[in-house]
């Protein structure tokens, strides 16, 4: 979970995807009563039909899940440690459903993948997912089933059970995913605060594909379909997270906001100085060409673009080499800071970030 902090710690920087609520009063109004036969999104499928369809579509994947869809609440046999993360996505903010290349299945997949990526970054075993879906007018039952079907496909691949949720009418498509992961021992989990001077910084795979794919989707550049797919269908690196924990990673984060931002989180929480070598960042195929079109260096997409959902780890160099990580930086003594270098010179990413948007 991105927004947890311990007592006495500095408040984290505002999440770049969120607008502050400011001083506007928040009013909670009773929601209208729902009828089981109510139509969803104006389609021929009622809410009752959809819930029946979910029971056919979804499968439990753990003997721990004792009660789920069909009961008033899910009942899960707990392991010693529960790891919980919440991720919400809203049409027009985190995706554009009106784009011809973006479908309900893409949106469902991406929402669950982003939530599971936080469990990967804690090195937890995935357990259950709970989904609250706000469905707008015109988003029919078939679209709901396509969205949930794509979630279930990813859940099946990752051993996750879609154990419950809620379905409500909403002005725009809204998906809030709560994922619960498990561990038997606190030492099996990895936070952001364990980077040590002398560690190296490594990433689990190529970067920049998601930002480049978004530029292709938005018509700002041309590039291979694989980039668009990387943006729409990211894969949470759950196995890699657990392998890095076993290899001795002291700090771990998923690359959701961009490597520079996420590595800064590691530096801040660990109280260390991290130096990233931008020329060492592994690039996905086609990223350099898209960067050229946008008029930015490739590392601007790799370090400044978010949502690649690779993992970034700090660990001793010998361990990093065994895990096959791409080594992209080093950890030094505090105070906490992030330094970026290219061609042996210090670089400020901020000058390029506005050109990515």
* For Mg ion, the closer CB: 127 or 241: 241
* For Mg ion, the closer CB: 237 or 330: 237
- In the complex, least distance from residue 121 CB atom to Mg ion, rounded to whole angstroms: 5
- In the complex, least distance from residue 97 CB atom to Mg ion, rounded to whole angstroms: 24
* For Mg ion, the closer CB: 106 or 310: 310
- In the complex, least distance from residue 116 CB atom to Mg ion, rounded to whole angstroms: 10
Name residues contacting Mg ion, limited to 246-265 (CB under 5 A): 254, 256
* For Mg ion, the closer CB: 256 or 342: 256
- In the complex, least distance from residue 341 CB atom to Mg ion, rounded to whole angstroms: 25
Residue 22, helix vs strand vs coil: coil
* For Mg ion, the closer CB: 47 or 118: 118
* For Mg ion, the closer CB: 121 or 238: 121
Mask of contacts with Mg ion, 264-303, x by CB under 5 A? ----------------------------------------
| Contact (Cβ atoms closer than 8 angstroms) between residue 333 and residue 254 | no
Q: Residues 6 or more apart from 28 whose CB is under 8 A from it? A: none
User: Is residue 307 near Mg ion by the rule CB under 5 A?
Assistant: no
- Return d(Cα 329, Cα 336) in angstroms, integer: 15
Q: Reading across the β-sheet that carries 200-203, which strands appear in turn?
A: 251-254, 311-315, 200-203, 326-332, 273-277, 337-342, 345-347
Return the residue matching tokens 């990895």: 190
- In the complex, least distance from residue 112 CB atom to Mg ion, rounded to whole angstroms: 14
Total of chain residues touching Mg ion, rule CB under 5 A:
5
| Contact (Cβ atoms closer than 8 angstroms) between residue 279 and residue 344 | no
DSSP 117-168: HHHHTTTPEEEEEEEEEEE-TT--HHHHHHHHHHHHHHHHHHT-EEEEEEEE
Name residues contacting Mg ion, limited to 90-119 (CB under 5 A): 118
Residue 174, number of CB atoms within 10 A of its CB: 19
- Return d(Cα 219, Cα 91) in angstroms, integer: 19
Interface with Mg ion by CB under 5 A: which residues?
2, 118, 121, 254, 256
């Amino acid at each position: 979970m991105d927004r947890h902090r311990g007592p006495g710690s500095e408040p984290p920087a505002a999440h770049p995807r969120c607008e502050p609520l400011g001083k506007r009063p928040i009013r909670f109004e009773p929601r209208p009563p729902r009828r089981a036969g109510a139509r969803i999104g104006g389609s021929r499928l009622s809410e009752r039909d959809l819930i029946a369809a979910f029971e056919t579509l979804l499968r439990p994947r753990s003997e721990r899940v004792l009660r789920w869809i069909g009961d008033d609440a899910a009942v899960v046999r707990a392991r010693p440690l529960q790891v919980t993360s919440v991720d919400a996505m809203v049409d027009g903010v985190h995706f554009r459903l009106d784009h011809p290349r973006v479908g309900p299945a893409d949106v469902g997949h991406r929402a669950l993948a982003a939530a599971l990526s936080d469990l990967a970054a804690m090195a937890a075993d995935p357990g259950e997912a709970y989904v609250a879906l706000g469905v707008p007018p015109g988003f029919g039952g078939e679209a709901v089933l396509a969205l949930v079907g794509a979630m279930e496909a990813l859940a099946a691949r990752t051993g996750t059970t879609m154990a419950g949720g809620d379905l409500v009418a909403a002005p725009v498509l809204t998906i809030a995913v709560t994922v619960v992961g498990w561990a038997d021992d606190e030492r099996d989990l990895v936070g952001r605060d364990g980077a040590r001077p002398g560690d190296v910084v490594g990433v689990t795979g190529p970067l920049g594909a998601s930002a480049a794919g978004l530029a292709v989707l938005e018509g700002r550049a041309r590039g291979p379909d694989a980039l668009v797919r990387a943006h729409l269908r990211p894969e949470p690196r759950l196995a890699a997270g657990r392998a890095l924990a076993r290899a001795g990673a002291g700090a771990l984060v998923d690359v959701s906001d961009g490597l520079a931002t996420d590595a800064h989180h590691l530096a801040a929480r660990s109280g260390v100085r991290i130096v990233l070598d931008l020329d060492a960042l592994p690039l996905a195929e086609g990223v350099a060409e898209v960067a050229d079109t946008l008029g930015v260096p490739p590392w601007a997409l790799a370090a400044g673009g978010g949502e690649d959902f690779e993992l970034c780890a700090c660990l001793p160099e010998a361990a990093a080499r065994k895990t096959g990580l791409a080594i992209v930086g080093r950890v030094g003594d505090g105070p906490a800071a992030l330094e970026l270098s290219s061609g042996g010179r210090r670089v400020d990413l901020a000058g390029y970030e506005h050109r990515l948007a």
